Amino acid sequence: MSLVKSREAILFGAILLLLALISTRFSGFVTPKNLAGVFNDTSPLIILALGQMVVILTRCIDLSVAANLALTGMVCAMINVAAPDLPVVVILMVALAMGAALGAINGLLVWKLDIPPIVVTLGTMTIFRGVIFLLSKGQWINAHEMSPAFTGFARGVIWGLPVLGWIAIATIAVMFVVMSRTTLGRAFFAVGGNPHAAVYTGINVGRTQFLAFVISGALAGLTGYLWIARYAVAYVDIAGGFELDVVAACVIGGISIAGGSGSVIGTLLGALFLGVVKNALPVVDISPFWQLAISGAAIIIAVTFNARAGRTKGRVILKSAEHAQ
């Protein structure tokens, strides 16, 4: 626990240092209004990263989240074009259900056919993108084709923060409760920490991994509608490559690729770190292409930190065993 807390403290300090450095070039960046805007911009990444966190904790990975987002978003946009008077709450339910169904496909293939998660999700990522093209025939759906209610929901402002940001906050709260206060949350950690021991405690490893993919898919579907509503455009390649940012947010936030270790707060901080970098680079006249280099460097540092921490933990366990003998 102390390791997790120290990791979160270091990351929080890095974000504060980054903000301080940016403020020396552009003081307006750290105003409350602008920081609220940065949080809102980062909200889709936060929601997706929280879903990916659960999957990675169970020793899996979901590379299809961005494609799930794009497919669900396109379907929601097409439904809105066909039935513009349909209430937004129905669209939200469709997005969640469809996203969860796409996630369930991944989960079933991993669980029942025992196919490696990276292979499954690489395949479904391509399939989902292909389905978008078949449904849309390669055509875009633009703002003038969408109803004001459809696009206005995510943009509505409550107490200075758009609804998109509030949904991200609600997702953080729900996931925090699930991971810290429920049997399912503990099962995610147990399966990732030691799947063989988890079996002996009565946990169905395959079913737990399946549920992780369903949660990840549902959050991707929700983000799909919110993304389309916010940017008021739907097309085949929307959010292309965004799955890499999602994985990066988790790794930077301390989620161990080996599974079983990490936290909701760490994932949130990892996403915020990338969000600040992405929003700050244009402000300080640095090419956005540097974002890729910075993200890559942060991932390497984070993975190295995780590996060293894991080896240290292993040595402590071995020393304890020697003293016990």
37 part of a folded domain: no
32 part of a folded domain: no
Distance between CA atoms of 171 and 48, rounded to whole angstroms? 10
Average pLDDT, the chain: 87
Residue from 252, 231, 259 nearest 303 by CA: 252
Residue 305 confidence (pLDDT): 74
Residue type, 123: G
Residue 130 confidence (pLDDT): 94
Distance between CA atoms of 138 and 195, rounded to whole angstroms? 43
184 part of a folded domain: yes
Residue 180 confidence (pLDDT): 92
- Residue 274: which domain range? 2-26+42-324
Residue 256 confidence (pLDDT): 84
91 part of a folded domain: yes
Enumerate residue ranges in the chain where pLDDT < 70. 1-5, 288, 291, 306-325
Residue 18 confidence (pLDDT): 87
- The neighbour count for residue 259, using CB atoms within 10 Å, is 22
Give the CATH number, domain containing residue 317.
1.10.3470
75 part of a folded domain: yes
Residue 270 confidence (pLDDT): 92
35 part of a folded domain: no
Residue 272 confidence (pLDDT): 94
What is the total count of domains within the chain?
A: 1
Residue 317 confidence (pLDDT): 36
Q: Global pTM?
A: 0.90
Residue 307 confidence (pLDDT): 67
